[in-house]
Structure 1
Amino acid sequence: MTTTEAAAVTGPAAAPSGPGAEERISTRSAAGAIGRRIATSVITIVVSLVALCLLWVGLLRLFDVSAFVGKGPMDVFHYLFTAAPESGIRPTSLTAEAARDQAFSALGTTLVDAAIGFVTGMVFATVVAALFVLLKPVEVAFMPIAMLLRSVPLVAMAPVLLLIFGQGKVGIAAIAAIVVLFPALVNITLGLRSASPQALDVIRVNGGSALTAMLKVRIPSALPQFLASVRISVPGAIVGAMLAEWLSGFTGLGGVLSTYKGQGNYGGVWTVVVFAVVASIVLYAVAAVIETAVLAAWGPEAGRR
C-alpha cells in the first residue's frame, strides 16, 4: 500500500480516539482558554496602567493643576521609595518605609472589608434571585426595596447604615454589600430565567419540582451571568468599603485618605488613589481568569473545541 493510499484510509491527522480521548481534548481546550485569558489579562493590566498614567499626567498639565496639590506617577514613586524626596512630596516626619507600611496596611484592611461585603452581597443576591424565580410574590415585595437602595445615593445612605450597624466591620461590610447587591441581583435573576424551556419541560414531565429545576437546570445555565456579576462587583466592593472607611474612622484606604487630606499630605492622597485603582484592576483581571477557568470546566460550552 502506498503512502497516499494509507493516508486515504487513516484520514488526515487521525483524531484521538478511545477511552479518555474526549477528556484529554476537553482538558487541553480548558487549559488553552485559561492560558489565553491569563495572557490577555496581563496585557490588559499593563495597557490600562500605562494609559491611566498618560491620562493622569495629561490632565494635570491640561488643567494646570498646582504641583502642591496635583502629584504625578513619579511623585507617588518618590513618596513610597525615595529616602529624601523633593519638598512637598512627603512630610519630613514620614520616612519612605513608614509611608509604605501605612499604605500597604491600609490596603490590606480595605481588601478584607471589601471581601466581607463582596461575599455578603453576592450570597444575598443569589438567594434573593432564586426566591424571585421560585416565588413571584417575593419579587413583587422585594424589588421596590432593591430599587430604593439603588436610587438613593450611597453617600446619603452610608451614614444611616453606619448608625444602624455601627462603625466597625459590620457597618463597612453592609455598605460594600449594597454596592454589590443590585447589579448582581439583576444579572443572576436574568441568568436563572434564561434556562432552556426544553430542559425545564424534561424536569417537569418527569415529576421534578421547581426546586429540582432550579438545582439541575436554572443554576447551571446562570453560571455565566453569576461569574460576570462576580467580575463587575469586585471594584464596586472596594469603592463601597473605602466610602465606609472614609465616613467611619481612620483605618483602611478610605480612612487614611481622609487623614492625609486633613494633614495636607497630598502625596499620600494620590498614593492611596493609586493603590485603590491598581487593586481594582488587578482583582478584576483575576476574577476574569477565574471566570474563564470555571466556564471552561463547567460552563455551557465546556469540553467543546
Structure 2
Amino acid sequence: MTTTASPVTTGSAPTPASTPAAESTRTPSVVGAAAKRAGVAVVTIVVSLGALCLLWIGLLKLFDVSKFVGKGPGDVWAYLFSAKPAAGIRPASMTAEMARSGAFDALGTTLLDAAIGFVTGLVIALVIAAGFVLLKPFEVAFMPIAMLLRSVPLVAMAPVLLLIFGQGKLGIAAIAAIVVLFPALVNITLGLRSASPQSLDVIRVNGGSPLTALLKVRVPSALPQFLASVRISVPGAIVGAMLAEWLSGFDGLGGVLSTYKGQGNYGGVWTVVVLAVVSSIVLYAVAAVIETAVLAAWGPDAGKR
C-alpha cells in the first residue's frame, strides 16, 4: 500500500512584533512618568503654598508687624479681587480691576524678561562648557574670570551691567543671564565630563574627533545635568529680572514693586511678592515635569522598567 504524505506547509514561525510592542510600551512609560511627576508637582505646589501662608501669618504675628505695613494672604486676595476692601488694603483711587491689571501686566513683563535671560544664560553656559571639554587652555584662561565674576555680589554687578547694556530689555536680560550662567555652567561641565570612558574609546578607535565624541557621547550623557540646570535656573532668572527692573525703571514686577513702595501701597507690594513666589514655584514644578518626561524618553535609563 502506498501512503501519500500529507503536504507540510513550510515557512518561518511567526515572530513577535517586537518593534510595535516596544513602541507601545515606550509611549505609556513616558506619559506615565510625566503624569506621575505632574501629580507629585501639584501636591508639592499646594503643600508649599499652604506652608508658606502659615509661615507668613505666623511671622507677622510673632514680630507684631503693623497692619499698615504687614499684609496677610487674605489682604492680598482682597487687594486683587474685593470690590470694597478694608481700609489700607488698596488705595481708594484704585479699583480691583486696576489692581489686577497692574499686577498681572507686570508679571507678564517680568516673565518675558526672565525668559530672555534664561535662554541666553543656558546657551552661553552650553558653549562655554563645550569649550572647557574640547580646549583645556580655554578652561585655564576663562575659569579665573568666571570665579571672579561669581564672587561679585549681583547687587553690585547689576548697575554696571545696566550701564554697559542699557536699561532696556538687553540690560535686564544680561542680569538674568548672569544669574543663570554660573550654576548651569558648573552642572553642564560635570555632565559632559561624566561620559563613559568606554564609549569615548569607541569613538576614538573608529577615528572620531573630539567634536564627534562631544556630540554623540558627551552631550547625551549630560542630559540629566542639563535638565537639572534648567529646573534650578528658573527661579534665579525671575529674581535677576526683578532686580534689573527695580534698578532700571518702572516696568515689570521689580519696577512696580519700587513704585508701590514709594507710594505707600503696601498691599500692592505684598501682591507683587506673592506673584513672584507663586510663579517661581509653579515654573519650577513645570520644569520638573518636563525633565521627567525627557529623561523617560531619552535619558540614560530610557525604556527600563
Q: Do Structure 1 and Structure 2 share a fold, with TM-score over 0.5?
A: yes
The one-character-per-residue Cα deviations of 1:225-249 (angstroms, maximum 9, x if unpaired) are 0000000000000000000000000
2:69 counterpart SS class: coil
Q: CA deviation at 1:19?
A: 3.6
Q: CA deviation at 1:304?
A: 1.0
Q: Does 2:34 align with 1:54?
A: no
User: % of aligned pairs identical?
Assistant: 82
Q: Which amino acid aligns with 2:146?
A: A
CA contact (8 A) 1:80 1:97 kept: yes
User: Once structures 1 and 2 are overlaid, which stretch shifts more, 143-152 or 192-201?
Assistant: 143-152
Q: Which amino acid aligns with 2:104?
A: F
Q: CA deviation at 1:164?
A: 0.4
The one-character-per-residue Cα deviations of 1:242-296 (angstroms, maximum 9, x if unpaired) are 0000000000000000000000000000000000000000000000011011111
CA 1:18/1:191 → structure 2, altered by over 3 Å: closer, same or farther? closer
Q: Does 2:209 align with 1:212?
A: no
Partner of 1:100: 100
Question: What does 1:7-22 align with in structure 2 at a 5 Å threshold?
Answer: 18-22=18-22
Runs of at least 5 residues in structure 2 that lack an aligned partner in the other structure: 1-15
Partner of 2:275: 275
User: Once structures 1 and 2 are overlaid, which stretch shifts more, 81-90 or 169-178?
Assistant: 81-90
Partner of 2:41: 41
Return the TM-score normalized by structure 1. 0.94
Query: Partners in 2 of 1:31 and 1:243 — Cα distance?
Result: 38
CA contact (8 A) 1:71 1:270 kept: yes
Q: Does 2:283 align with 1:245?
A: no
Q: Does 2:198 align with 1:191?
A: no
Query: Partners in 2 of 1:149 and 1:300 — Cα distance?
Result: 34
Partner of 2:23: 23
Return the TM-score normalized by structure 2. 0.94
Partner of 1:153: 153
CA contact (8 A) 1:26 1:304 kept: no
Partner of 1:4: none
Query: Partners in 1 of 2:150 and 2:188 — Cα distance?
Result: 16
The one-character-per-residue Cα deviations of 1:120-150 (angstroms, maximum 9, x if unpaired) are 0000000000000000111111111111121
Q: CA deviation at 1:183?
A: 0.1
Q: Which amino acid aligns with 1:133?
A: V
Question: What does 1:252-263 align with in structure 2 at a 5 Å threshold?
Answer: 252-263=252-263
Runs of at least 5 residues in structure 1 that lack an aligned partner in the other structure: 1-15
Query: Partners in 2 of 1:205 and 1:263 — Cα distance?
Result: 69
Partner of 2:90: 90
Query: Partners in 1 of 2:19 and 2:109 — Cα distance?
Result: 50
Q: Which amino acid aligns with 2:296?
A: A
The one-character-per-residue Cα deviations of 1:159-198 (angstroms, maximum 9, x if unpaired) are 0000000000000000000000000000000000000000
Query: Partners in 2 of 1:156 and 1:172 — Cα distance?
Result: 15
Q: CA deviation at 1:23?
A: 2.0
Query: Partners in 1 of 2:62 and 2:138 — Cα distance?
Result: 52
Q: Which amino acid aligns with 1:90?
A: R
Q: CA deviation at 1:17?
A: 5.7
Partner of 2:181: 181
Q: Which amino acid aligns with 2:291?
A: E
Query: Partners in 2 of 1:19 and 1:229 — Cα distance?
Result: 34
